Structure 1
């Protein structure tokens, strides 16, 4: 044995290499688990929490004399057709015409009108299919009304049909249901085609959309509770003489509409449904968004579990868990009991058209799909007004036979 020198420190204990590796692995696993939990929580909250749209297009210049705006090239900014440019955090609104030129990452578009805001000072905005501001732009009578929903009175627009020779009020109504993150103005584009077909139009708001009252938790339920506000709108229509109602849902409004078809008190007067870029199967929609953001499928599944179980409310703030299976009308296609017209673009970019196609394939007896190819999400009217109006007009004519 080697003698220890007086005053020298004891030799440090040697830690086996396998212990160091195990500790490092355990720490890495713990960090990965924590990161996964954070991402799951963020994804879960994002699914059910209303949020403001993001200005994702750069405004590079505005030539007021030539009525031309220069924008960065995105999938939406180069679409043919007419669109809104909502700019500077929704403080400005301009209407855009056709593309004039695309070169060097810049698209130049005709400016049809600047409704409000300073486009010269704008630096960013977003392209929207929500083209009109108010139904009165069609030079038609409009009443501001209230629908008494379970969460309180919600504002709506009522537009009567074109006058009939008999002068009798129309008993045929359409109730328009807007999508996620927008307001009832999204649905104004449908006024002319329904009005000309003899329908009264009711354009509603619903809980947590920024116009109607908040629910207790202030969260989206992807249609699982919002249908109650549409049910209240059906009651309003019945109380004002409606006997024959078409429901039209846009994006998440499609999910709301499909829920009302089977759950509303007055579902017996729902004659047909029109769907624009609809969310037919939320599993499909949410997985699409997860893939687009490179979220591992395991985390996506964990987020689904969070929003569909009562314990998940601790993370998301939901009062009640969601039932994604109840919201899946591909699985529930046998329950479709009225004619359905679906308008959907295969390059939607927000709500994939797969659910719409699968529903049409499952129920060819009642579901008619009119596919578009390059119209993106809820911009089908903007891309090809003639085809959009023609499809709806033909559908309404067939209902009248």
Structure 2
């Protein structure tokens, strides 16, 4: 007996059968094209995730008034923020400190210059807005020494700011696509409490040595370089260590907390705008960039698969399950202070809220608003600094008495 579909085809005219076959061929080719485009897009996204970022312009200098010492920038969600910030530029000056907003309209923002710019200065219109504020260790006007910390990839540069009796150290870890200068904002707070600061670098950040592939593993291997810094601190006399991580540095600090052989010496963690669950962050960024969910899903799938590493150029499969600290909350042993803005704009605060809900016995969450990613100090320095001081004092981690810290 001939199946009804095949019988119908046999009874159809030759032209109809040919048309159906042609249509099926076209559909198959189109589907293959769509799948190919999705694959290409997902590989591109996967590579972007693990490739160290290069600083790119995100605003433009519209005018510079050297007589009034003001600068007008194109308006963005960052350039309109209240507070003190920095600006990376090209020309006679590489970095400029910015003060308060003086005026604004729909397309521009005028700010006070806190770095003196001379009348003969020449600056490129393209610039990058920054939350660093300080870009050199000597700007803090505190004693410091440059150090080299031996790690599995070689010597990693660090800055050491001694304070107090040397018993308590804060090891600071910068985020993705930045360098250790990002962490300088917190050094004065620790110094005022008698806490030594060790501001570190790690593989592939542009200062520390390059790994074999030269790509990030989102904390899965970088934590070993920071763990080496913890060992360095202990050899120099540190008895209790606070880990402070900014953005991806938060993911790295959490991995040190979970995996380090020095866990007993870790007294707590301070996390600023931290990555706690990478899958949540990548999905959020994909939505912001209007990348289809299918593409971001394929990219994450490729990054966590060993077979795809030659295509993604990652050094190995990214262990997203291991990096998801919300799902591993029961394993945490150290007190944690999280500083995160619900208006972050880059790393959503959802996982910070989730971690607090999962471990309220260990986690203290200070929620900010308006402030953008890793710019909480810039937006509200007083509240940010006092949150850290109060948390440290409540745990008896400050060698300097509460009345002495500023």
Q: TM-score, normalised by structure 1?
A: 0.92
Q: Which moved more, 1:74-83 or 1:134-143?
A: 134-143
Tell me by how many angstroms 1:110 deviates. Answer: 0.6
Specify the alignment match of 2:42 in structure 1.
40
**Change in CA separation of 1:68 and 1:91 when aligned onto 2, cut-off 3 Å:** closer
2:66 aligned with 1:64, yes or no? yes
Unaligned runs of 5+ in 1: 1-11, 163-168
Specify the alignment match of 1:6 in structure 2.
none
2:97 aligned with 1:95, yes or no? yes
Query: Does the CA-based 8 Å contact 2:38-2:294 persist in structure 1?
Result: no
Spell out the pairing of 1:203-214 with structure 2 (5 A cutoff): 203-214=199-210
Tell me the C-alpha RMSD between the 2 structures.
1.9
Name the CA distance, whole Å, in 1 between partners of 2:297 and 2:92.
34
Specify the alignment match of 1:315 in structure 2.
311
Specify the alignment match of 1:225 in structure 2.
221
Give 3-state SS (helix, strand or coil) of 1:349's partner.
coil
Tell me by how many angstroms 1:264 deviates. Answer: 1.1
Query: Does the CA-based 8 Å contact 1:92-1:118 persist in structure 2?
Result: no
Tell me by how many angstroms 1:303 deviates. Answer: 1.0
**Change in CA separation of 1:49 and 1:115 when aligned onto 2, cut-off 3 Å:** farther
Question: Which of 114, 123, 130 matches 2:132?
Answer: 130
Specify the alignment match of 1:179 in structure 2.
175
2:340 aligned with 1:338, yes or no? no
Q: Deviations over 1:165-184 (max 9, x none)?
A: xxxx3211000000000000
Specify the alignment match of 2:269 in structure 1.
273
Give 3-state SS (helix, strand or coil) of 1:284's partner.
helix
Spell out the pairing of 1:192-341 with structure 2 (5 A cutoff): 192-341=188-337
Q: Which aligned segments of 4 or more residues in structure 1 are displaced greater than 4 angstroms?
A: 12-15, 114-120
Query: Does the CA-based 8 Å contact 2:53-2:176 persist in structure 1?
Result: no
Specify the alignment match of 1:19 in structure 2.
21
Query: Does the CA-based 8 Å contact 2:85-2:97 persist in structure 1?
Result: yes
Give 3-state SS (helix, strand or coil) of 1:271's partner.
strand
Tell me by how many angstroms 1:108 deviates. Answer: 0.5
Give 3-state SS (helix, strand or coil) of 1:230's partner.
helix
**Change in CA separation of 1:130 and 1:320 when aligned onto 2, cut-off 3 Å:** same
2:389 aligned with 1:393, yes or no? yes
Specify the alignment match of 2:11 in structure 1.
none
**Change in CA separation of 1:132 and 1:373 when aligned onto 2, cut-off 3 Å:** same
Specify the alignment match of 1:141 in structure 2.
143
Q: Deviations over 1:112-166 (max 9, x none)?
A: 105899864321112111110223222211100110011000100000115xxxx
**Change in CA separation of 1:92 and 1:321 when aligned onto 2, cut-off 3 Å:** same
Name the CA distance, whole Å, in 1 between partners of 2:314 and 2:116.
40
Query: Does the CA-based 8 Å contact 2:74-2:108 persist in structure 1?
Result: yes
Name the CA distance, whole Å, in 2 between partners of 1:286 and 1:118.
44
Query: Does the CA-based 8 Å contact 1:62-1:119 persist in structure 2?
Result: no
Tell me by how many angstroms 1:19 deviates. Answer: 2.5
Question: Which of 361, 367, 370 matches 2:363?
Answer: 367
Query: Does the CA-based 8 Å contact 1:380-1:388 persist in structure 2?
Result: yes
Tell me by how many angstroms 1:41 deviates. Answer: 0.7
Q: Deviations over 1:342-382 (max 9, x none)?
A: 00011111100001011011111110000101110000000
Q: Which moved more, 1:16-25 or 1:269-278?
A: 16-25
**Change in CA separation of 1:199 and 1:301 when aligned onto 2, cut-off 3 Å:** same
Tell me by how many angstroms 1:60 deviates. Answer: 0.6
Spell out the pairing of 1:160-175 with structure 2 (5 A cutoff): 160-162=162-164, 169-175=165-171
Name the CA distance, whole Å, in 1 between partners of 2:300 and 2:339.
27
**Change in CA separation of 1:114 and 1:153 when aligned onto 2, cut-off 3 Å:** farther
Name the CA distance, whole Å, in 2 between partners of 1:382 and 1:117.
28
Query: Does the CA-based 8 Å contact 2:92-2:123 persist in structure 1?
Result: no
Unaligned runs of 5+ in 2: 1-13, 398-406
Name the CA distance, whole Å, in 2 between partners of 1:117 and 1:309.
56
Name the CA distance, whole Å, in 2 between partners of 1:325 and 1:117.
55
Name the CA distance, whole Å, in 1 between partners of 2:237 and 2:347.
35
Name the CA distance, whole Å, in 1 between partners of 2:112 and 2:260.
45
Query: Does the CA-based 8 Å contact 1:49-1:220 persist in structure 2?
Result: yes
